[in-house]
Amino acid sequence: MAGTGGPVATFSVWDYVVFAGTILLSAGVGLFQAIRSRKDTSSAEFLLGGRQMTAVPVAMSLTASFMSGITVIGTPNEAYQFGAAFWLFGFSYAIMSMITAEIFVPLFYRLGITSAYEYLELRFSRPIRLIGTSMYIIQTALYTGMVIYAPALALNQITGLNLWGVLVATGAVCIVYCTLGGLKAVIWTDVMQMVIMLAGFVAVIARGAVLQGGLTKIWEDAGQGGRLDAFDFDPDPLKRHTFWTIVIGGSVMWVSIYSINQSQVQRYISCKTLRHAKMSLYVNMLGLWLTVSLAVFSGLTMYSIYKNCDPLANGDISTSDQMLPYLVMDILAAYPGIPGLFVAAAYSGTLSTVSSSINALVAVTVEDFIFPVCKNLTEKQVIWMNMGLSVFFGCVCIGMAGVASALGSILQAALSIFGMISGPLLGLYLLGMLFRTSNSIGGLVGMITGLVLTLWVGIAGQIYPPTAEKTNPLQVSTAGCNSTMGQNYTTTAPWTSPVTLTSQPDVRPPLADSWYSLSYLYFCLLGTLSTMVIGLLVSAITGGCKQERINPDLFVKASDLICFSCCSKSEASEVTEKFATDFHIEADNSTFTDFDVKSKDVEKATKL
């Protein structure tokens, strides 16, 4: 009986059929796009879909890339253990979408770049560009390996699927459609995978509602268990999740992921117009809201079912990551094929993230390392090089999954590093986009300083993890289990530790309960602010104000912002002059129209 503990069923034949069919369908969609685009084999087609993509599929791809297998499995577990505070990330997604769409997208689209890190060379210097690209490659390869391994491990221990067989199969499928189909294959496969992932959440919620007597009952159980106390306005930066850490720190973290991460940038600059690129981010925001809502409610459903018998405390599973797969096999095993669909949903998240990463790694390697050195390559040579690099990076990601299997706790380090590296990089971009006085020396020193600070607090926080007082795990029970083992149990977050909290070191340094306990959501904010402040100071000391005139297209323009399109020309002129003076950005009153305005409308638009 569901919710009373004990072993659960394993995969049936139909589950294997549904799972395998879904994975093969993903490969089939990619191959179809490859065949469909076989007449256009240019590098722009391979890396950017010919810059002819439209808003909706790109938006769904952006959302699917966010939904890795870790997210599919980890977010419901987060809601189960810590409550619905994760819903507050909806505010962060809205802030991130507006900042990325109105500030970063027009800049990148105007420059016509392929690699997001081209900007660093245009604004600062080539060494800074190469450093930024190298940081991205290391971060992405490591993170992608974790994305492959973590869901494979959890699902292997629940479903009995062969771990290494699934790891290699996942990488092989991604390699096939990334190599043959390029970005267009990745985007359209992401669309299908997102639908499958959402269907997996809906199946869990629907079956849970039937078992528990309706959605209202699930909501009441969550409230009684303290899972709905989401709004904590405590300003303490050491508390893991509060309203302020999620809205402020979370917004900066997601801006760093969507605005400068090549995997995301490559999608919206593949759109055929700037308007489509902006729209893709706003539609993506709706997709993120839907995704996080279904994931969190799946976690509340899981709590309603296991409120009297926690599977981890009862010894039915060995890690918290196995909670959702255990639930699926517990409540859906009676419906052959449905557990297979959910496992396919988790792996669709993995496939989406891995394929996005492979395509982005190829793009930055070609644009930042190969093209500047080998300038006389033929189009055919470039295509073969792109395909070869896709195979290479796919193998690297599978190899990193092997590293993860040998270093069990590497998951928490990889996810933390993702934020640690993104913060200083975001600070570097903002330094260049907003401040004319910043120079390459200031940018380099600022980025290194920000990176040192975030690595220091992040790594130290892994060695000396924060206490339960700061992470606030909620109570679980084993009173209703058929066989309770009486284990003492304390929960932790799926991205700060994939298992139960380890014992604290015997000797904790003085900073362990202060600096080292900083909320992980503030890592990115710390790196961004320290990079900008140190960068400005060093630039001023090294004569940043005396540098030669810089291309005005490298700065944020007031005309990029959608709000200025409603002003009259005279009003806009006055506002942009003040905006430029206050924020040291380039005022451009000659253009108050979208990049995709038809030529016959330009004269009319400039008369507004």
Q: For residue 236, give the CATH number of its domain.
A: 1.20.1730.10
pLDDT in tens, 473-530: 777 877 878 754 444 343 333 333 333 334 455 577 777 777 878 888 899 999 999 9
Mean pLDDT, rounded, for 262-291: 86
Is 2 among the domain residues?
no
Question: Which secondary structure element, helix H or strand E, spans residue 141, and what is its range?
Answer: helix 126-159
Residue 206 has pLDDT above 90, yes or no: yes
Mean pLDDT, rounded, for 403-432: 73
Residue 567 has pLDDT above 80, yes or no: no
Task: Indicate whether 516 and 593 sit together in one domain.
Answer: no
Task: Indicate whether 162 and 207 sit together in one domain.
Answer: yes
pLDDT tier for residue 407 given thresholds of 50, 70 and 90: low
Question: Which secondary structure element, helix H or strand E, spans residue 97, and what is its range?
Answer: helix 89-99
Residue 248 has pLDDT above 70, yes or no: yes
Q: 300: which residues sit within 8 A by CB, 6+ positions away?
A: 79, 80, 84, 218, 219, 221, 222, 227
Task: Indicate whether 457 and 511 sit together in one domain.
Answer: yes
- Higher per-residue pLDDT: 409 or 528: 528
When mean pLDDT is compared across 267-281, 452-466, 559-573, the lowest value belongs to 559-573
pLDDT tier for residue 588 given thresholds of 50, 70 and 90: very low
Mean pLDDT, rounded, for 242-260: 91
d(CA 176, CA 171): 9
Task: Indicate whether 470 and 585 sit together in one domain.
Answer: no
pLDDT in tens, 18-39: 888 877 777 777 677 667 665 5
Task: Indicate whether 536 and 566 sit together in one domain.
Answer: no
Mean pLDDT, rounded, for 240-259: 90
Mean pLDDT, rounded, for 279-292: 90
One DSSP character per residue, 534-553 reads HHHHHHHHTTGGGSPP--GG
pLDDT computed for residue 536 by the predictor: 94
- Higher per-residue pLDDT: 171 or 301: 301
Mean pLDDT, rounded, for 533-538: 95
- Say whether pTM exceeds 0.95: no
Task: Indicate whether 579 and 498 sit together in one domain.
Answer: no
Count structural domains, the chain: 2
Is 4 among the domain residues?
no
Residue 592 has pLDDT above 50, yes or no: no
Residue 155 has pLDDT above 80, yes or no: no
From 517, 545, 573, give the residue that closes a domain: 545
Task: Indicate whether 138 and 284 sit together in one domain.
Answer: yes
pLDDT tier for residue 602 given thresholds of 50, 70 and 90: very low
pLDDT computed for residue 449 by the predictor: 95
Which of 374-378, 384-388, 436-440 has the highest mean predicted lDDT (pLDDT)?
A: 436-440
Task: Indicate whether 534 and 574 sit together in one domain.
Answer: no
From 525, 545, 565, give the residue that closes a domain: 545
d(CA 428, CA 119): 11
pLDDT computed for residue 78 by the predictor: 85
pLDDT computed for residue 516 by the predictor: 79
One DSSP character per residue, 419-442 reads HHHHHHHHHHHHHHHH-TT--HHH
Cα separations in angstroms, 239 against 346, 489, 492: 30, 20, 13
Range of the domain at 233: 13-545
